[in-house]
Amino acid sequence: MLLAIDVGNTNAKFALFDGHRMVTRWRIATDDRRTADEYAVWLDQLMRIENLDRKLVQAVIISTVVPRALHNLRLLSQKYFQLEPLIAGRDPVGWGIALKVEEPGSVGADRAVNAISAQALEPQGEKLVISFGTATTLDHISAEGAYMGGIIAPGVNLSLEALVAAAAKLPRIAIEAPETRSVIGRTTESQMLIGIYWGYVAMVEGLIARMKAEIGQPVTVIATGGLAVLFDQETGLFDRIEPDLTLNGLMQLYEKRDAE
């Protein structure tokens, strides 16, 4: 089996693949101080719950946007799986796609992996990948699978945290769809929710529309991230939602490398 590890700014996701089939996945809060031993104890307990033996893991591939987390994850693979992990974007696992931007080296690993995954899902036509995470990113993937560039915006949770931190009297609220489609709130909480939810919907709608107009061809919009479903409920902005886009991209990257 392949152990795929995707480390984002907020969460680290682990998944086991048997060929192209995802067997299971787990999530843990990102902490670049977490040691290899701590990861091992956590993983071992979860694998035991699902009657999985650590010896089933025959390869490890890692993608991270948190460089300081890489050392302990590499050590996890070496010490507890006796495997040298493959690091996405580094030799011998190059991206295998064109990064048609001014600074290819600055493209986040998750965005490059998402491009690979999106191309595998939609081999023909232009793609737009929107990922809801700590930041919300929108990326244009060409019909040929090249990464063409995109947009980085503050994530919705980050925006809400900044608002609450800067305004002493505003309460913390959960991000959810408002009870009605009215945009005139009658309480402080409802006004905040309207501003965050519908304000964010308006931003995403506007950015998608502008990107589509600039691309000038039919575009398939693929969304990923925990809040994709929430925003799709009221808007129908996305053609498809793929919660495991990045993990599947890591599997695709490993398979591509393995076939070379």
DSSP 15: E
Q: What is the model's pLDDT at position 132?
A: 93
Known catalytic residue: 110? Answer: yes
2-87 is classed CATH 3.40.50.720: no
Q: Going residue by residue through the chain, which has 260 residues, state the pLDDT in tens, using 9 for 90 and above.
A: 999 999 998 899 999 999 999 999 999 999 999 999 999 999 999 999 999 999 999 999 999 999 999 999 999 999 999 999 999 877 666 788 899 999 988 898 899 999 999 999 999 999 999 999 889 999 999 999 999 999 999 999 999 999 999 998 899 998 888 888 899 999 999 999 999 999 999 999 999 999 999 999 999 999 998 889 888 887 788 999 999 999 999 999 998 875 54
Position 92 scores a pLDDT of 61
Among the listed residues 37, 53, 91, 110, the single catalytic one is 110
114 contacts 95 by C-beta, under 8 angstroms: no
CB-based contacts of 71, cutoff 8 Å, min separation 6: none
pTM, full prediction: 0.89
**Domain 105-248 belongs in CATH node 3.30.420.40:** yes
Counting other chains too, the contacts that 211-216 makes at CB distance below 8 Å and 24 or more residues apart are 211/128, 211/138, 211/140, 211/151, 212/128, 215/126, 215/128, 215/140
Contact yes or no for 85/97 (Cβ under 8 A): no
Q: What is the pLDDT of residue 260?
A: 46
Domain ranges of the chain: 2-87, 105-248
